[in-house]
Amino acid sequence: MIERIIFHLDMDAFFASVEIVKNPELKGKPVIVGGNPDRRGVVSTCSYEARKFGVRSAMPLIEAKRRCPQAIFLEGNFAIYREYSDQVMTLLESTFPIVEVVSIDEAYMDATDIANQYKGAFELGRFIRKAVFDKTLLTCSVGIGSNKLIAKIASSFAKPNGLFEVPAGKEAEFLSSLPIESIPGIGSKTQAVLNHHGIKIIKDLQILGLESLVQNYGASGYYFYMAAIGKDNRPVESSEQPRKSIGAETTFEKDQHERQILDAALKELFDKAYKRMRKHHMRARGISVKLRFSDFQTITRACTLEAHSNDYDVLMKSLRDLFHRSYAEGTPLRLIGMTLEKLTDSYWQPTFWDWQKERDLKNI
């Protein structure tokens, strides 16, 4: 049986980090997203600078203000957070064959069939973390293991902005010294019950064994034991939802300004996005380009078509025209990206030209 390779990616202090990217003056300051601390509400998330004062997600805002009165409190903008999340998830979906999005800032990926293409799981982890940062200027933490449970716990060891891999066969050893609340699903109430019975670390569960745990805790005891020895057979299940946009981008190894290279890169990105749009039988009415310069200044330009289209040549021409209007000839670029936007899954009319493009795109 082939050993699975599962990744868990968790964005670091996601909402607060997006706010800092949008406003670099916030960098290094305690930032709390959740709203006005003088009104009822809870912390959505906070920067690591705020966490040093004991501020945590779901904490009442008034308590967060008491602990960190110098914090910068922000209402937050979910639409912007969703845009950044879509960028990250699109990147994951373009890299991994199976991606399970579990929240706006968290996903599992099955890398079993592709890890060797990147010289192993750890190198793939380094690649995806760099790709996420290059795409969004946000950091993430990645855990790698033989199943979802191990990968999720490993990602908590990687925080913030790190990478942690648990070698196959070492799961029980890795878990043994951890507190029982490290196991997903063991909340404060269950922890209190187990602690009362003298069970404080995962090794205690391992020692008690399956029979004893089932006898004392029923079905939950079965889960406690299987989790304690690092067993989890849940598959990574694709969770793709109808998308409003599909895009692709690339960061050059060194800044580029030659028109031939930029045009070739633009076409390659378009082909990737167009292929994914076809896969979902969708059409686009909007196109955008993203340009990041040597000094990290980033601009985005967009245009809207007269009608939704799935015609390769029409969309490609619109993209090229938009790029040429947006790019100043000779300016070095660090990153180039494009997105097909305002997607709809309404009537898709295949043509002979579609058949030809389908044949060509199979080789991308």
Cα(266)–Cα(67) distance, integer angstroms: 49
Cα(23)–Cα(25) distance, integer angstroms: 5
Helical H segments across 96-170, by residue range? 121-136, 148-158
Q: Which amino acid, one-letter code, is at 100?
A: E
Catalytic hit among 19, 106, 249, 341: 106
Cα(99)–Cα(120) distance, integer angstroms: 18
CB 352 within 8 A of CB 266: no
Cα(94)–Cα(86) distance, integer angstroms: 12
- Which uninterrupted H or E stretch holds 32? strand 31-33
Of 193, 196, 120, 184, which Cα lies nearest the Cα of 152? Answer: 184
Q: What is the 3-state secondary structure (H, E, C) of 48-60?
A: HHHHCCCCCCCCE
- Annotation marks residue 249 as catalytic: no
Looking at the DSSP bridge assignments, the partners of residue 9 are: 107, 142
Tokens read off for 326:
């947006």
- Which uninterrupted H or E stretch holds 321? helix 312-326
194 Cα distance to chain centroid? 34
Q: Which residues are catalytic?
A: 106
